[in-house]
Amino acid sequence: MSGDKGDELSSIADDLTRRIIEAIIKVHQTLGPGFVEGIYHRALIVELKRRALRIDSEADVQIYYEDELVGRHRLDLVVEGRVIVELKVVEGLSRAHLRPGPFLPEGYAPSGRASREFLR
């Protein structure tokens, strides 16, 4: 069905993902290989902000397993409160790098006022 709200949200997500990937490619092409992760992290923050995207860097989240808190995790970047970007510096890609990661939990708020939790 044309004009469906799901289609509209999908289009917005696709545009956001495209903008993030373009920023990542720009950082990689500009800096090239050989730096530690922190350099790429900071450069990507600069590039995403230049593209007028809202960034939450190194957000702490609680990890739950069946209602039990099992630990904490720090997310490298959360863009527009919707897309998690985890940076890794590697010499080459393996199958593990192509595996989808976790999702943003319901109620996640980059402001830090809402609970930041992952349920598995």
pLDDT attached to residue 80: 93
pLDDT attached to residue 37: 92
Question: Considering only CA atoms, which of 108, 97, 83, 65 is closest in space to residue 23?
Answer: 83
**Average pLDDT score over residue span 82-87:** 91
Region of 19 on the Ramachandran plot (φ > 0 left; ψ -120 to 50 alpha; else beta): alpha
Residue scoring higher pLDDT (70 or 6): 70
pLDDT digits (tens, 9 = 90+) for 32-81: 888 999 999 999 999 999 999 999 999 999 999 999 999 999 999 999 99
Distance CA 24, CA 79 (A): 12
- Predicted confidence band of residue 95 (pLDDT cuts 50, 70, 90): confident
Domain count, the chain: 1
Strand, helix or coil for residue 27: helix
Residue scoring higher pLDDT (2 or 100): 100
Q: CA dist 82 to 67, 78, 93, 108, 111, Å? A: 23, 7, 25, 9, 13
| pLDDT of residue 14 exceeding 90 | no
Q: What are phi and psi of 118, to 5 degrees?
A: -115, 130
Domain membership of residue 100 as a residue range: 5-119
